[in-house]
Amino acid sequence: MKTPKITANITAVGKYLPKKKLTNKNLEKFLDTSDEWIRERTGIETRRIASKNEATSDLCINAIKKLLDKKNIDPNEIDAIIVATVTPDMMFPSTACIIQKEIGANNAWGFDLSAACSGFLFALETGSQFISSGKYKKVLVIGSDTMSSILNYSDRNTCILFGDGAGVVLLEPSKKGYGIIDSKLNIDGSGGKFLYLKAGGSRLPTSVETVKNKHHFLYQEGKTVFKYAVRGMYNVSKDILERNNITIDDIKLFIPHQANKRIIESTAKKLNIDSNKVLINIDKYANTTAGTIPIGLYDAVKEKKVSKGDYVLVTVFGAGFTFGSTLIKWGL
């Protein structure tokens, strides 16, 4: 008798958002912008901002504890922790190590993964392979960023776009075909010059000059990123559907990276998917970078947008450039 294939099923979801809200009206007070201008160009109304004593690990820990409590899981049952982030607490130790200690996951190992806004999907594919190998039974995959820590709040072209937050999923084995069906992930290093954080690494270590020249803030060429994002997310989404003999009509829910409402709408239009099937929460949270997809998955469950057996298509685009798409057969 043939042994059933093991797939990595999402069996629980969690999220955490800082309490502080920064609305467009708040931004009007110190930026040359307006609520109307931001809404029209981005779809964003408000975003969450971490408090002074909240780092990325704190956001992650809050999301994880809610998930573990709801599922009644002992932290010692966790085998691995993968954290997608570009705003770790520090260069080292990893955010995963900090989380492992704080939640008491004494039997887990883990690491951080850096792929900007695509980070969670890259981490999800990694965790999926761990589960599918048969070696691991419970893997936490987290996407979280404290973007407020790397934003220049005098630059209206970037600071209006981002927020802070964390989302987490628990992966467990399934022998019934639920979970991660397939992923198509790509990088294009030629796009690195359009979206980056210049200083703080070995190429340009932190100095008085790098701080003075504001090289520790995010830099983005918005129009170029917009064009590449739509093209990249459309191509990988189309490819993964074709590779699995699934049509866009078979998809129950489409969860794109929440970078800009116009990017989302343009990608959905190219895919010819019904707007009612597209999850959009950028109005409430802005772009939480690695957090957008797991937060979206949590919202989809809470709002009962998905049921067991539904096909969910997820797509992302981020600095690097990085981009990808994952097909999920929902099993929660």
Fill in the amino acid letter for 134. G
Burial of 99 (0-12, 13-18, 19+ CB in 10 A): buried
Same domain for 15 and 139? Answer: yes
Is residue 124 domain-resident?
A: yes
Same domain for 219 and 161? Answer: no
Fill in the amino acid letter for 23. T
Q: What is the pLDDT of residue 19?
A: 98
Q: What is the pLDDT of residues 124-138, one digit of tens each?
A: 999 999 999 999 999
Q: What's 258's domain CATH number?
A: 3.40.47.10
Same domain for 112 and 158? Answer: yes
Same domain for 68 and 194? Answer: no
Q: What is the pLDDT of residues 295-327, one digit of tens each?
A: 999 999 999 999 999 999 999 999 999 999 999
Q: Which of 148, 177, 206 is the last residue of a domain?
A: 177
Q: Which of 117, 150, 177 is the last residue of a domain?
A: 177
Nearest-angstrom CA–CA distance, 315 and 176: 24
Same domain for 160 and 205? Answer: no
Q: What is the pLDDT of residue 10?
A: 98
Q: Which of 152, 177, 202 is the last residue of a domain?
A: 177
Q: Which residues of the chain have pLDDT under 50?
A: none
Nearest-angstrom CA–CA distance, 44 and 280: 10
In the sheet that 179-187 helps form, which strands lie side by side, from edge to edge?
Answer: 179-187, 322-329, 311-318, 251-256
Same domain for 14 and 138? Answer: yes
Q: What is the pLDDT of residues 167-212, one digit of tens each?
A: 999 999 999 999 999 999 999 999 999 999 999 999 999 999 999 9
Is residue 2 domain-resident?
A: no
Is residue 1 domain-resident?
A: no
Contact at 8 Å (CB) between 151 and 207? no
Domain of 160, in residue numbers: 7-177
Is residue 227 domain-resident?
A: yes
Q: How far is CA 278 from the centre of its chain?
A: 16
In the sheet that 80-84 helps form, which strands lie side by side, from edge to edge?
Answer: 7-16, 164-174, 139-146, 80-84, 109-113
Nearest-angstrom CA–CA distance, 278 and 263: 12
Is residue 130 domain-resident?
A: yes
Is residue 237 domain-resident?
A: yes
Q: How many domains does the chain have?
A: 2
Catalytically active residues, by annotation? 117, 257, 287
Q: What is the pLDDT of residue 232?
A: 98
Contact at 8 Å (CB) between 299 and 278? no
Same domain for 171 and 272? Answer: no
Tell me how crowded residue 242 is: count the other CB atoms within 10 A of its CB. Answer: 10
Q: What is the pLDDT of residue 1?
A: 61
Contacts of 274 (CB under 8 A, 6+ apart): none
Contact at 8 Å (CB) between 304 and 312? no
Same domain for 48 and 70? Answer: yes
